[in-house]
Amino acid sequence: MPGKTVPLSVRVTDADAEFLARLDIAGATTPSEKLRALLTAERTRGEGAGDPHRSFEIIRDLLRPAQRGIRLAEAEQGISSDFVRKVYDRLPEIVAVALVGPGEGADRKVLTNFESRLLDQAFGLIQEVLELGLIAQGRCYDPAAITVRLQPVFELVDLIHLSQERRKGDK
């Protein structure tokens, strides 16, 4: 049950009033409801900053309007992009891990775990993007978008492989 409400009078610019009127917040139609929803969202964001699961939800919610706009544009154009979808699927987790971070005064083990979680997420996205290259004509807006970007990646992988082989030979 929500706490007792307190009447509050505020003055805003015409531009802010217009913005508030246009603002689309689920379940909020009046200016009062929208302001309460904004306050709740900001409080939740502040309280959830140290919690990876809550941070994930916050980032996902921040990205949702952009995703919705992309889906609508894709539907209008009759196209879709697995790459764009994969980036939007992975971004909340990557950003949530980075946002929460290891915390001040973290020891070596905590820092190593933090780095490992970031690497897992980053390489997960890299793998998913590379898997799109398995299809001759990728499921992207531009069918050749992945293929044309793979050659420099292959060259880097070859160089990394050579470097690792040299290090093995030096031991």
Q: pLDDT value at position 119?
A: 97
The secondary structure of 2-58, three-state, reads: CCCCCCCCCCCCHHHHHHHHHCCECCECCHHHHHHHHHHHHHHHHHHCCCHHHHHHH
- Report field, pTM of the whole predicted structure over 0.75: no
- Give the DSSP letter string of 64-101: HHHHHHHHHHHHHHT---HHHHHHHHHHHHHHHHHHH-
pLDDT value for 49: 63
Q: Given this model, what pLDDT does residue 143 score?
A: 86
> Per-residue pLDDT tens for 64-110?
999 999 999 999 999 999 999 999 999 999 999 999 899 899 999 99
> Can you give the pLDDT of all 171 residues of the chain as single tens digits?
467 788 888 898 999 989 888 888 878 889 888 888 888 878 876 776 678 888 888 899 889 999 999 999 999 999 999 999 999 999 999 999 999 899 899 999 999 999 999 999 999 999 999 999 887 666 899 988 888 899 999 999 999 999 999 988 877
DSSP 107: -
pLDDT (0 to 100) of residue 157: 94
pLDDT in the model for residue 138: 65
Alpha helix locations (H) across 101-146?
A: 108-132
